[in-house]
Structure 1
Amino acid sequence: MKTNLSEKSLPFRVGKWLPSDQTILEKWLGDLITEVEKDKQPLLPVIEELKELIEDDPEIFMWFHVMFSEVPRKPPYNKNPEGGPQVRDYHLMLRLINRIMTKAPEFNETGLVGFPINAILDWSMGTTAGYAAFLNEKVNWQFKRILNEWGIFLCSADSKYVLSKDPRSGWFGADAKKAMPDFDQEFICAPAQPHHGFKSWDDFFTREFREGQRPVASPQDDNIIANACESAPYRIAEKVKKHDKFWIKAQPYSLEHMMANDPLLDKFVGGTIYQAFLSALSYHRWHSPVSGKIVKAYVVDGTYYAEAQSEGYDPSGPNESQGYITELATRALIFIQADNPDIGLMCIMPVGMAEVSSCQITVYEGQHVKKGEQLGMFHFGGSTHCLFFGPQVKIAFDMHGQTPGLNSSNIPLKSKIATISK
Structure 2
Amino acid sequence: MRTSKRTPWGLTAVLLAALSCLAASPVQAETAIEPAPYNVGRWLPSDQRTLTAWRADLTQDGDASGDEPPLAPVIQEFKALIETDPELFMLFTQMFEQIPDEPAFEKDPAGGPQARDYHQMLALMNRVMNRAPEFNQTGLVGFPINAILDWSMGTPAGTTAFLNEKVNRQLKKILTQWAVFLGSPDSRYVLSDDPERGWFGRDAMAAMPTFVEDFICDPAVPYYGFASWDDFFTRRFRPGRRPVAAPDDDAVIANACESAPYRIATNVQLHHPFWIKAQPYSLAHMMAGDPLVEQFVGGTVYQAFLSALSYHRWHSPVSGRILKTRLLDGSYYAEALSEGFDPAGPNESQAYITQVATRALVFIEADNPDIGLMAAMFVGMAEVSSNEITVYEGQHVAKGDQLGMFHFGGSTHTLIFRPGVNLEFDLHGQTPGLHSENIPVRSRIATVAGPAEDAVPQ
With normalisation by structure 2, the TM-score equals: 0.89
* Residue deviations 1:148-198 (CA, integer Å, cap 9, x gap): 000000000000000000000000000101111110000000111111110
Moved more, 397-406 or 105-114: 105-114
Counterpart selection for 2:243 from 215, 218, 238: 215
- Residue aligned with 1:388, SS: strand
CA distance in 1, matches of 2:152, 2:173: 21
1:259-281 deviation per Cα after TM superposition (whole angstroms, max 9, x unaligned): 00000011100000000000111
The sequence identity of aligned pairs, in percent, is 67
Gap change, CA 1:300 and 1:81, over 3 Å in 2: closer
1:49-108 CA-to-partner distances (Å, cap 9, x unmatched) read 000000000110011111111112322211235654212111111111111100000001
CA offsets 1:240-294 (integer angstroms, 9 cap, x no match) = 0001111111100000000000000111000000000001110000000000000
| Aligned mates of 1:223, 1:111 — CA distance in 2 | 39
Following superposition, the deviation at residue 4 of structure 1 comes to: 2.4
Partner of 1:8: 35
Query: Do 1:350 and 1:384's aligned partners in 2 also have CA atoms closer than 8 Å?
Result: yes
Instruction: After TM superposition, list the pairs within 5 Å mapping 1:322-361 onto structure 2.
Output: 322-361=350-389
**How far has the Cα of 1:404 moved from its partner?**
0.4
Question: Aligned ranges for residues 389-404 of structure 1 at < 5 Å?
Answer: 389-404=417-432
Q: Cα gap change, 1:265/1:13 in structure 2, threshold over 3 Å: closer, same or farther? A: same
3-state SS in 1 of match to 2:113: coil
* Corresponding residue for residue 380 of structure 1: 408
What 5-or-longer segments of structure 2 have no aligned partner? 9-32, 451-458
- Is contact 1:25-1:113 (8 Å) kept? no
Runs of 4+, deviation exceeding 6 Å: none
Question: Which digits, 9 at most, give the CA deviation of each residue in 1:336-382, with x for residues without a partner?
Answer: 00000010000000000000131000000000000000000000121
Supply the distance in 1 between the matched residues of 2:277 and 2:91 (Cα, whole angstroms): 23
Match of residue 121 from structure 1: 149
Indicate conservation of the 8 Å contact 2:275/2:338, yes or no.
Answer: no
Deviation at 1:117, TM superposition (A): 0.2
**Secondary structure, in 3 states, of the residue corresponding to 1:171?**
coil
Contact 1:30-1:80 within 8 A present in 2 as well: no
> Which residue matches 2:54?
28
Could you say which residue in structure 1 is the equivalent of 2:391?
Answer: 363
Offset from partner CA, 1:16-46 (integer Å, 9 cap, x none):
1102356754663465356457453211100
Candidates 46, 68, 76, aligned match of 1:48: 76
Q: Which moved more, 1:108-117 or 1:234-243?
A: 108-117
- Cα distance between partner residues in 1 of 2:55 and 2:292: 44
Counting matched residue pairs gives 421
Alignment match, 2:197: 169
The separation in 1 between residues aligned to 2:156 and 2:339, in whole angstroms, is 11
Q: Structure 1 stretch 210-219 or stretch 88-97: which is displaced more?
A: 88-97
**For residues 129 and 22 of structure 1, what CA distance do their matches in structure 2 show?**
28
Give the aligned partner of residue 278 of structure 2. 250
- Counterpart of 1:263? 291
Distance (whole Å) between structure 1 residues aligned to residue 193 and residue 6 of structure 2: 35
Residue 132 of structure 1: which of 149, 155, 160 is its match? Answer: 160
The residue aligned with 2:307 is 279
- What is the DSSP-based 3-state SS (H/G/I as helix, E as strand, rest coil) of the residue aligned with 1:129? helix
- CA separation of 1:289/1:39 partners in 2, compared to 1, >3 Å: closer, same or farther? farther
CA apart distance, 1:298: 1.5
* Aligned-residue offset at 1:416: 0.4
Residue 267 of structure 2 is matched in structure 1 by: 239
Alpha carbons 2:192, 2:200 under 8 Å: kept? yes
Q: Distance in 1 between matches of 2:418 and 2:62?
A: 51
Q: Which amino acid aligns with 1:8?
A: P
CA contact 1:205–1:379 (8 Å) conserved in 2 = yes
* 1:391–1:83 CA distance, 2 compared to 1 (3 A): closer
Aligned residues: CA RMSD: 1.6
Q: 1:321 aligns with which of 340, 349, 360?
A: 349
- Please say if residues 329 and 353 of structure 1, whose CA atoms lie closer than 8 Å, have aligned partners that are also in contact: yes
Does the CA-based 8 Å contact 1:18-1:25 persist in structure 2? no
Alpha-carbon distance in 2 for matches of 1:337, 1:74:
54
Structure 1 residue runs without a partner (length 5+): none
For 1:347 and 1:28, locate their aligned partners in 2 and report how far apart those are by CA, in whole Å: 40
